[in-house]
Chain A
């Protein structure tokens, strides 16, 4: 028996897309903020390149601009801020309703998350890139492998991010207030994933540390395909690593969920 049939998954993804597309004003506000932060981040990076004589960490000025706008575009797509929807349902007991549904809980949430990501990509993703390209320049990849792999890499980035958020949220089965763990996760994933500053600019010890975590697979990897930091077989390797993390973390999430539901007691009814 399949874990989740294709049709329910598609319906869930579609509803995830429609649910988020209802918040137009919020999307416009989000686009504005991501764009302002993009300008600040890029100004700092261009200041670094200027001091370094034009190039830094293998990026020229257009490369840095491409990095900055891709990383801003991905914020909402891969959810680099705090997300506690699942933990909230655990705390309120609503999770019991989710567990009673005739679909696999984890994959149903994943499907809805992919629908949400698709809306985020079309709204909050595209506009900052267009603005950044017009105002500061953007390098479109010439490598055909990059074009082929990019949709896969972005989808896997969403899957890895979902798997991580799912695990962090599951801690709500054991502790009541998840704000602490969620804040830790957001800070560490943002830094080591290469959202604040490209991983290629890190000192070596920090690069080793970053690549020991799934976080670059959420942010830096899809960006590397676009900036050309990874091309050809390197690009294929990046996507394979992403796939590895997605499978590993989703599997771990299922294991933890099984243990968590065994200790779940929902009052009332």
Chain B
């Protein structure tokens, strides 16, 4: 018999979560439908805006739809993979985190794999449909570099949002009741990155470009796909820097998580 491995342990955990979700078929179907509706409702805001005006912050309906689709695809992937970390306070309060710490696997790995939310695929699939429609509607001068950018962008965006999820949720190590602080960065970052950055004030723009790199998820790569210079004057190469921003985000969130976990002393339960 083969030695048990770490990868094998995670594979078993994820398999058990998938099996659990698949065993309540009608509940799962309703959950997937709710995720589809979530993407539709979010898109309704873009639709209503462009019912009133023909451009927003200097961008057309199709161009903003492209940004929206890139952002929601990335966020849907991140939310499905690691979104469960925002339940950290619950695990701290109930003492479940202590159980995780006793096992020979990383606490973060166990926390994330304890709810691998397949239902989020409903949202990702809907976002991908919107993405294809937006790409048909906008005028992209296709080249191998742009095709590669289109493929890499949702993945880099998913890594950025996943890092934000982990770093922001680690706040719970300091403030157990402060989960909602994390929402400002995760859901707030997702909301904001669905729209052109030209509508936001400079303080918010800087924060969501350099502190939380939400601009790299949709707005900046969309500029490169559309072949447009940034009306705000950011250098063009930043549009291609999504993967770099993603790597930096992973590093920052890993440090934040470890610092938080090291100061964790239990909830006394």
Contacts and interface: CB of A to CB of B under 8 A. Distances in A.
A40 interface: yes
Interface in A80-129: none
B235 interface: no
Interface string A178-199: 0111011001101100001100
Contacts of A180: 27, 30-31, 33-34
Contact of A206 (B33, B48, B180): B48
B184 interface: yes
A37 interface: yes
B109 interface: no
A201 interface: yes
B180 A26 contact: yes
A46 interface: yes
A52 B179 CA distance: 38
Interface stretch (A27-35, A150-158, A258-266): A27-35
Nearest to B198: A47
B184 A32 contact: yes
Q: A interface, by DSSP: helix, strand, loop or mixed?
A: helix
Interface in B140-194: 175-181, 183-184, 187-188, 191-192
A202 interface: yes
Contacts of A187: 34, 37-38, 41
Contacts of B188: 33, 36-37, 40
A177 B24 contact: yes
Contact of B184 (A37, A47, A179, A203): A37
Contact of A29 (B37, B180, B199): B180
Contacts of A52: 52-53
A206 B47 CA distance: 11
Contacts of B51: 201-203
Chain B interface mostly helix, strand, loop or mixed? Answer: helix
Given A51-B56, A176-B27, A183-B34, A33 B183 contact: yes
B204 interface: yes
Interface string A126-155: 000000000000000000000000000000
B175 A29 contact: yes
Contacts of A196: 41, 44-45
Contacts of B31: 179-180, 183
B49 A197 contact: yes
B117 to A, nearest CB: 11
Given A180-B27, A180-B34, A48 B177 contact: no
Interface residues of A, number: 39
Contacts of B181: 29, 32-33
A239 B198 CA distance: 39
Contacts of B57: 47, 51
A40 B41 contact: no
A251 interface: no
Interface in B195-244: 195-196, 198-201, 204
Contacts of B54: 51
Given A39-B204, A44-B195, A180-B27, A25 B52 contact: no
A197 B34 contact: no
B54 to A, nearest CB: 7
Contacts of B24: 177
B25 to A, nearest CB: 12
A37 B55 CA distance: 22
Contacts of B56: 44, 47-48, 51
A43 interface: yes
Given A43-B201, A201-B52, A29 B177 contact: yes
Contacts of B195: 44, 47
Given A25-B178, A202-B51, 12 more contacts: A26-B177, A26-B180, A28-B178, A33-B180, A37-B191, A43-B201, A46-B199, A180-B31, A180-B33, A197-B45, A197-B49, A206-B48
13 contacts: A26-B179, A29-B181, A32-B180, A36-B184, A43-B201, A51-B55, A51-B57, A56-B53, A179-B27, A180-B33, A188-B41, A201-B52, A203-B48
Interface of B: 24, 27, 30-31, 33-34, 37-38, 41, 44-45, 48-49, 51-57, 175-181, 183-184, 187-188, 191-192, 195-196, 198-201, 204
Minimum-distance CB pairs A-B, first 4: A180-B30, A47-B199, A29-B180, A25-B177
Interface of A: 23, 25-26, 28-30, 32-33, 36-37, 39-40, 43-44, 46-48, 51-52, 56-57, 175-177, 179-181, 183-184, 187-188, 190-191, 196-197, 201-203, 206
